[in-house]
Structure 1
Amino acid sequence: MAVRGKDLIRVMEEWAPVSLAVENDRIGLQVGDPEAHVDGVLLALDVTEEVVDEAIRMGANWIVAHHAVIFRPLKDLRTDKPAGRLYAKLLKHDLHVFIAHTNLDSARDGVNDVLCEKLGLEQTRVMIPTRTRQLQKLVVFIPETHHDQVLRAVCEAGAGWIGNYSHCTFNLEGTGTFLPEAGTNPFIGKQGELEQVREMRLETVITREIRDQVITAMMEAHPYEEPAYDLYPLDLPGEVDGLGRVGMLPRKMKLKELALKLKEAYRIPGLRMVGDGEREVSRVAVLGGSGGRYYPEAKALGADVYITGDLDHHTALDALADGLTLLDPGHHVEHLVLDRIGQKLKEDARLREVPVQVTRVDTNPFHYM
């Protein structure tokens, strides 16, 4: 079955929902048609003309990028200028561009989790909360013959997560009754006859944000014409989403040792360090991209060192005066999430036949001499 752009978008937004993006962020489909077929996908941090040329060469007609290709308001579309030439090439070659930015920064297993994982940080938590997920309980009644099928379907759609445990459900045997009226086509029983069926009551936890996709998966897996199910709101705190992460190093180390570890982990030729290289650090705050303005939040959460990009002179002075050391590996380290995006897309059954490739173009405008 042909894969369309809306299928690719659905997979990305189930992982990194639009609701996680900061206000006015430029995300989503920026160029193209959601109904267009997906022949191949190229993953990139930035959409440059070199990246577009690479997509054309490899036969990919979709680009999934982290940074918006349309960021500032357009004043013109002159093709004798770099921006106009880029947009013209995208349109001429029927290339479609989808952006996941701050929603991917905040998403579980997104940019900041990947950056923490590369450093081996433990006990990580959100640094700047932007949303608390609203919990609900899903209860569905299933004939015994299809219980396992429905359980797996709803859990694979995102239900049943409690902390780091997945597929959390409770199941109880019972008897269901129903009487198929005129116009029905029952999976079990006959019209006009009261039926009693051995059924399983399946209970699991979902968040309101994934409710629709879980219900869709349940309905597709359930054999009944009209599955019986209930949704209950839960007065319990859900998982917190947000920007940045704070975590612990496996052991204390000197700042300069962490700087060298970061260079190797993030595959960068150099970085900027603010503070005494001999100082021991253990609690680390990480925010991919440009996060200098958030150093007070890192300090308030007890971080010894804050890792972020695009630090300016005065922010570095202020943070140092406040007792916080800093490491600036640059903005471009966000490219480390591209392999994770590729993994997510390749693992999804809806996209399994679509070629997915990470760009080989280095879009980092800075070089160390």
Structure 2
Amino acid sequence: MPRLSDVIAELDALWPPERAEQWDAVGTVAGYPDAEVSRVLFAVDPVQEIVDEAVRLGADLLVTHHPLYLRGTTTVAAGHFKGRVVHDLIKNDIALHVAHTNADTADPGVSDALAGALDLRVVRPLVPDDSDPSGRRGLGRVCELDHPLTLRDFAEHAAKRLPATAQGIRVAGNPDALVRTVAVSGGSGDSLFDAVRATGADAFLTADLRHHPVSEATQGSPLGLVDAAHWATEWPWCELAAAQLDEISDRHGWDLRVHVSKTVTDPWTAHAASTTTAGAPN
């Protein structure tokens, strides 16, 4: 069996930590470098439900997309849920490794996995990484559909292909407009509207879209917006990353058992459609 340090070296080659944004917190959070690893679990969020799943599974390593302590901390006391996560990881000899913005811009990365889940053909990065001479790394992806769809039909296609969440899929723009090219970005994407418009894409699928940026982006513009749940747009990366580690394991003869959590950790748990018209009493 490989040591944790061996596995982490391969993960760092896939998603070099130096390519993470300066504000990010990536890398190994817990774990002994010399500990043996036989079972690995991939998930989006390092929350208690995922740690409990890792314990039940007998995992030696948990790899998540989101950091546990993005803004740092001065304590890991178990009186807070993040402290309990740390305690449970250590108590059960489970290492935690994070690949966040360094996985977002990788080739392949988070948005490649999102495009693959939607059966989209990737053309190029939405925001290219200037340090990549091949032009393949970067944030988001510009994609093409094999056959044009209306914005409504594309949103329904996304709803069928992405994991189900309470939010579902929201659409802004003309539902009957034809969509041939789509920009995608896993996670929060409303800071990328200028880059999306510059590509001439017909639609942009991302998450966490807010009222004012959406209102401004659709005024006088044919751009269609498709807003999925943050967790749902990033979960496909877990399957991609697991497949990458499986290939590495086979190459080295490690015989790792690699799993992907299907636990929905999107924080929204229910959705109620409004039936009241504007200005009318309930």
Please report the TM-score for the alignment, with normalisation by the length of structure 2. Answer: 0.88
Q: 1:329 aligns with which of 228, 234, 248?
A: 228
- Higher share in strand: 1
User: How many residues are treated as equivalent by the alignment?
Assistant: 265
Q: What is the Cα deviation at residue 243 of structure 1?
A: 0.4
Amino acid at match of 1:325: G
Distance 2:104 2:253 in 1: 23
Amino acid at match of 2:263: V
Contact 2:26 2:67 in 1 (8 A): yes
298-307 or 339-348, larger mean C-alpha shift: 339-348
Deviations 1:92-118 (A, max 9, x none): 222210011111111122211111122
User: Is 1:276–2:174 an aligned residue pair?
Assistant: yes
Runs of 4+ in structure 1 over 4 Å off: none
Contact 1:272 1:328 in 2 (8 A): yes
Distance 1:23 1:291 in 2: 18
Q: What is the Cα deviation at residue 40 of structure 1?
A: 1.5
SS at match of 2:107: coil
Q: What is the Cα deviation at residue 289 of structure 1?
A: 0.4
Deviations 1:123-149 (A, max 9, x none): 52001122333xxxxxxxxxxxxxxxx
Amino acid at match of 2:230: H
User: Is 1:296–2:187 an aligned residue pair?
Assistant: no
- Match of residue 117 from structure 1: 116
- What pairs up with 1:1-369 in 2 under 5 angstroms? 2-133=1-132, 237-268=133-164, 270-321=168-219, 323=221, 324-333=223-232, 334-348=234-248, 349-350=251-252, 352-369=254-271
Contact 1:45 1:335 in 2 (8 A): yes
Distance 1:70 1:117 in 2: 30
Contact 1:126 1:243 in 2 (8 A): yes
Distance 1:306 1:90 in 2: 38
266-275 or 282-291, larger mean C-alpha shift: 266-275
Contact 2:21 2:101 in 1 (8 A): yes
Distance 2:213 2:264 in 1: 28
Distance 1:249 1:260 in 2: 14
Deviations 1:197-226 (A, max 9, x none): xxxxxxxxxxxxxxxxxxxxxxxxxxxxxx
Deviations 1:55-113 (A, max 9, x none): 11221121011111121221433322222222221222222100111111111222111
Q: What is the Cα deviation at residue 352 of structure 1?
A: 3.5
Contact 2:129 2:135 in 1 (8 A): no
Amino acid at match of 2:236: L
Deviations 1:220-265 (A, max 9, x none): xxxxxxxxxxxxxxxxx43341100011111222100100011111
Cα 1:356–1:123 change in 2 (3 A) is closer
84-93 or 251-260, larger mean C-alpha shift: 84-93
Same amino acid, percent of matched pairs: 33
Contact 1:3 1:351 in 2 (8 A): no
Q: Which has the greater radius of gyration?
A: 1
Amino acid at match of 1:347: E
Amino acid at match of 1:290: S
Q: What is the Cα deviation at residue 42 of structure 1?
A: 1.1
Amino acid at match of 1:286: V
Amino acid at match of 2:152: K
Cα 1:85–1:111 change in 2 (3 A) is same
290-299 or 340-349, larger mean C-alpha shift: 340-349
Distance 1:309 1:280 in 2: 21
Contact 1:289 1:309 in 2 (8 A): yes
Structure 1: give runs of 5+ residues left out of the alignment: 134-236
Structure 2: give runs of 5+ residues left out of the alignment: 272-282
Cα 1:250–1:47 change in 2 (3 A) is same
Contact 1:8 1:351 in 2 (8 A): no
Cα 1:351–1:91 change in 2 (3 A) is farther
Q: What is the Cα deviation at residue 322 of structure 1?
A: 5.2
Deviations 1:33-59 (A, max 9, x none): 323221321111111112111111221
Distance 2:171 2:64 in 1: 29
